Chains A and B, each alone.
Chain A
Amino acid sequence: MSTSLFLPPAGPPSALEMAAADTSSFTQFVARVQPSLLRAGGPANLTADALAPRATTIVALTTAEGVVMAGDRRATMGSMIAQRDIQKVYPADEFSAIGIAGSAGLAVDLVKLFRVELEHYEKIEGSPLTLDGKANRLATMIRGNLGLALQGFVVVPLFAGWDSQAGRGRIFSYDATGGCYEETGYSSVGSGSVFARGALKKLYRPDFSTAKAVSAVVQALFDAADDDSATGGPDLARRIFPVVIAVTAAGSCQIPEAEVAKVTDKVVASRQRRPDGPEAKL
């Protein structure tokens, strides 16, 4: 296997071989040399979505410094909780983050592939893709999953990052057919997204600092968990808290768990006084 990835040692490569080797896309390259590593696609007549756990709510908002993205930690299978501490928000590369809702196994695999895709391009070309390029690439990957989506294995990501050319944070949302839509201000996906979005609508300010934004996403996820059974609230007994990632001009970093714990404790304490959360001024 090892030498097959290198150019053939004997004879100059033909024009066709040169053209065939000319790709910076990791996915396309794997599809060519080892297609079995990519997940199986294609439609079938069965619907089997009950086979796989589902991951739920992701929220993201832009701040004065970039973007903040967060996700709850619950995966469900029907009415059962499949996992309490699943991670659904990841840094995609140094200047972007991806969160996923939908069929958990496929979604986690998609994130893994997407991260290699971005890194592979950057290493081969010597410079990273633009933020729009990354968002577009993700759209193509989601579209590739359409066959499985029709059988119930839907994967819907939320993508956000720092656009170094525009000098600001940007958010992109997707649908199961690979449609990619830029969002202004804030966005949310997954089963609890309706409630999270409602919360963000009242809390969001465009001039948020990263710290303020972290508190806003924790509040929004609390509201999602409050009204959606598939979204997990903060697990105070087991100390399981949302995963929060901030992306700024300095790069992407996960907010340390201790810090998220502190914010969550504060939110939970304030909810004991006012269970519906902070009051918006009229």
Chain B
Amino acid sequence: MSAPMFYVSPEQQVKDRAEFARAGIARGRSVIVQRYRDGILFVAENLSQSLHKVSEIYDRIGFAAVGRYNEFDNLRIAGIRHADIRGYAYDRRDVTGRMLANAYAQVLGTIFSAVAEKPYEVELAVAEVGPSPDQDQIFRLTFDGSIADERDFCVMGGAAEQISAALAETYTVASLPQALTTAVRALASDPGQDGPVGVEAIEAAVLDRDRRQTRKFARLSRAQLAAVLDPAPPGPTSPPARQPRRRAGTGTDQNGQHG
């Protein structure tokens, strides 16, 4: 016996689906994408060293995501393929962040409005470092395919509002160490966070305009992060940075499902 079908208005349907996606995203820890003097900085709160939230897409293009790992990793791989095939068929300079952001918006929008599908519980940022600072671009994409062009920074994830407010107060176009410090401090304004975010819980990468290679994306190693974030050698007297605690009611965050 099949379940009886009821009429659901499109407004209600969209509302329900958006609520579902938002709830999924809110379970995850946050990511900041911001401009700094020499390019774009990605900072994510992430305990895993191998399940990345930040990734390289192309020469000048980086990707950051929050939400369900399997869903955004699919999108990440699709983006790499899209970019590589474009660059191979035409020229490397013909691959742009805007093109990629548009492709993502199409896919997310289609999935969101497909009734038979559950919406993706992800939020993405596509950033491109330009030849000069005024050509840097940060696009933010939400689960429903909406796309926004962000000026200086964007924050995604569970505590996006609080972190965004904290970052807005301190943000300036700064050098890399300063930008990194500001971003990590802003991440600690997550209400589920009791204390500063330790180096072991930070994943960071840059799109460095001045990098010698054509590929401008570079991950910052733990050692590089530690050199900036806790310059004093850790002694027995220094208070250890606490591990980020999961917020109440995050039952599904067992194996990095919601990053």
Chain A residues within CB distance 8 Å of chain B: 2-3, 5-7, 9-11, 26, 29-30, 33-34, 37, 94, 112-113, 116, 119-120, 123-124, 126, 251, 253
Contacts and interface: CB of A to CB of B under 8 A. Distances in A.
Contact of A123 (B75, B80, B116): B80
Interface in B106-145: 106-107, 110-111, 114, 116-117
Nearest to B114: A10
B119 to A, nearest CB: 11
Query: For A26, A94, A112, A251, which residue has the most chain B Cβ atoms within 10 angstroms?
Result: A26
Contacts of A6: 75, 78, 82, 103, 107
23 contacts: A2-B102, A5-B81, A5-B82, A5-B85, A6-B75, A6-B78, A6-B82, A6-B107, A7-B74, A7-B78, A9-B107, A9-B114, A10-B117, A29-B81, A30-B85, A37-B85, A37-B89, A94-B215, A112-B88, A116-B84, A116-B87, A119-B215, A126-B50
A113 B89 CA distance: 10
A3 B107 contact: yes
B56 interface: yes
Contacts of A119: 84, 215
Nearest to A252: B213
Contacts of B213: 94, 251
A251 B50 CA distance: 23
B55 interface: yes
B98 interface: no
B219 to A, nearest CB: 10
B65 interface: no
A119 B84 CA distance: 9
Given A11-B116, A11-B117, A94-B213, A5 B78 contact: yes
A34 B55 contact: no
Contacts of B88: 26, 30, 37, 112-113, 116
B202 interface: no
Given A3-B106, A9-B111, A116-B84, 5 more contacts: A9-B114, A116-B88, A123-B56, A124-B80, A253-B212
Interface in B16-72: 50, 52, 55-57
A9 B212 CA distance: 39
A2 B87 contact: no
Given A11-B116, A116-B87, A123-B55, A2 B106 contact: yes
A33 B78 CA distance: 12
Nearest to B81: A5
B77 interface: yes
Nearest to B59: A119
B89 A34 contact: yes
Contacts of B74: 7
Nearest to A2: B103
A176 to B, nearest CB: 24
Top 5 closest pairs, chain A to chain B, by CB: A9-B110, A6-B78, A6-B107, A5-B82, A2-B103
A126 B69 CA distance: 15
Contacts of B82: 2, 5-6
A206 to B, nearest CB: 29
Nearest to A21: B77
A5 B84 CA distance: 11
A94 B217 CA distance: 13
A256 to B, nearest CB: 12
B52, B77, B78, B103, most chain A CB atoms within 10 A: B77
Nearest to B120: A9
Contacts of B57: 123
Nearest to B63: A123
Contacts of A9: 107, 110-111, 114, 117
A227 B36 CA distance: 56
Contacts of B117: 9-11
Nearest to A251: B213
A116 B89 CA distance: 11
Contacts of A34: 85, 89
